[in-house]
A and B are shown apart, each in its own frame.
Chain A
Amino acid sequence: MGENTLKSLFDLLIPKDKSKTSVNDIRLEFVRFRKLLENSRALMSLMEDAEEKMRGEYIFDRQYVLSLIDESIEYMSMAAFDLSVIAQDASEMIYGLVDELKAFTQTYFIERKKDIQISSPFIDLAKTTSSEPEFVFLAQVLAWMKGPLPNGNVSVTEFVRQVFDKAVPALKKADMSNPSIHLKKLAHSTLNCFHLIDMDEAVKSKMELSIHELKCRPLITMLTSNATANHSIAQESADAKWLALMEHDRLSLRGIINSRDILIEVTQSGYMDADFMFMFISHPLISNTLFPQNFKTLMTDKAIFGWSYHLSDYQIEQSLTHIGTSLFN
């Protein structure tokens, strides 16, 4: 099925009227954003894999390089679909970008795969000390993945930047004024605009919860951190509106601080392969000290976002304490 057909079908299935938000919409969005994170992570992993192969310890062939291109396109197509669910307005732009990236790989990689040499637009970009065609090929594909590319060509990294710049601002925030949501309020002296949705609980029994009644581990850690606070951030964030989507080991915390979006996504299951943290903050950045030290970060036109994967339970606790102290203490 072509992407345009898929998109038309998608437009038919998803109604345009977004005025009424339900808990199911929020669940759908929660799951889809997690998928978007998975697909973006897969793209980053492909890049890391390619960088590892460039170091020369591995035996690889052209087929490996071609499979990197195929997999990148596949993950970008899936990420485009995820974004279309979260931000329908971005659908046309992002599918256009995927088409552009596909066309680029066709022209510069697929059609040249039998006669590999460093050529435009990679002359100053592809870094390799080996003259083996496989290394030259991989160096060019890696340059396409990492970017930036000349002449307005879009790299895979730039694609990821644009996806998050569109996706995060489109996520539902705490200022929803819809009675069907049944938001719970967090009873906390300094966090009077903190709303909660318990994703594990179908029936909403209480409308107000104390911190001690929370079951979401990552949120509890953030709110009960007692290290010394960075008062400038804490003061600013005191006026923030927060929405926390909670499961026992997963948290999506979305905030608006002085019209800036802030998003923190965490899975803290105790399984290192599954656990991760992701954080997105719109410009102007409140403080770059908000990102824990083990985070990799990427700057976009609108924001800075960072992530960290394969974390131990202790590392997650430390990172959450760091962020929680900065924001809420």
Chain B
Amino acid sequence: MNEELGENQMDKKLKIMIIDDENIVGKRLKPALEKTGDYVESFEDAKKALERFNSEPFDIVVTDIRMDEIDGLEVLEQVLSKSNQTKVIIITGYATVEVAREALAKGAFDFIAKPFKPSDLRAIIDRAAKRSAS
């Protein structure tokens, strides 16, 4: 029964938010993730992204950990305080393993290290969707 429910929920199109102050990340990830029919919005400014999230929650938030004004950990905290159903995936750069560990301890679903293939992120998103459904 649970499995059936899970599969039905997996068919649901996801609302995915991407936050990264490096323009290229959102620019390349958005079309890659939209291929499966999911709805994707990307933001370079974390503040604007959080405003958007407060007006309408997303299923998945993919956020870079190191950003200038608001970092990924703060995004994680604010997102989870607003919606504990949302799965947050952290993008880490280089030599940030400790921060990634901290993010997982604070409730991030998983993390992915740059450089990465969109298909690797898609696999994590699918796991996150499956977890939400179960």
Contact = CB atoms under 8 A, between A and B. Distances in A.
Interface in B1-31: 20, 22, 24-25, 27-29
A132 B24 contact: yes
Interface centre among B20, B114, B115 (most CB of A within 10 A): B115
Contacts of A53: 115
A59 B24 contact: yes
Contacts of B24: 59-61, 132-134
A293 interface: no
Contacts of A58: 115-117
Interface stretch (A62-70, A146-154, A259-267): A62-70
Nearest to B118: A59
B93 interface: yes
B93 A59 contact: no
B114 A57 contact: no
A63 B118 CA distance: 18
Contact of A63 (B27, B94, B117, B121): B94
Contact of A61 (B22, B117, B118): B22
Interface string B65-106: 000000000000000000000000000011000000000000
Interface band, chain A: 10 to 19
A129 to B, nearest CB: 15
Contacts of A63: 22, 93-94, 114
A166 B28 CA distance: 45
B94 A59 contact: no
A274 to B, nearest CB: 24
Nearest to B121: A59
Nearest to B64: A61
A142 B116 CA distance: 19
Contacts of A61: 20, 22, 24-25, 93, 114
A134 B116 CA distance: 14
A53 B117 CA distance: 10
Interface in A103-155: 132-134
Contacts of A62: 22
A60 B117 contact: no
Contacts of B28: 59
Given A59-B28, A59-B29, A64 B114 contact: yes
22 contacts: A53-B115, A57-B117, A58-B116, A58-B117, A59-B28, A59-B115, A60-B24, A60-B114, A60-B115, A61-B22, A61-B24, A61-B25, A61-B93, A61-B114, A62-B22, A63-B22, A63-B93, A63-B114, A64-B114, A132-B24, A132-B27, A133-B24
Given A58-B117, A63-B94, A134-B24, 10 more contacts: A59-B29, A59-B118, A61-B20, A61-B22, A61-B93, A61-B114, A64-B94, A64-B115, A133-B24, A134-B22
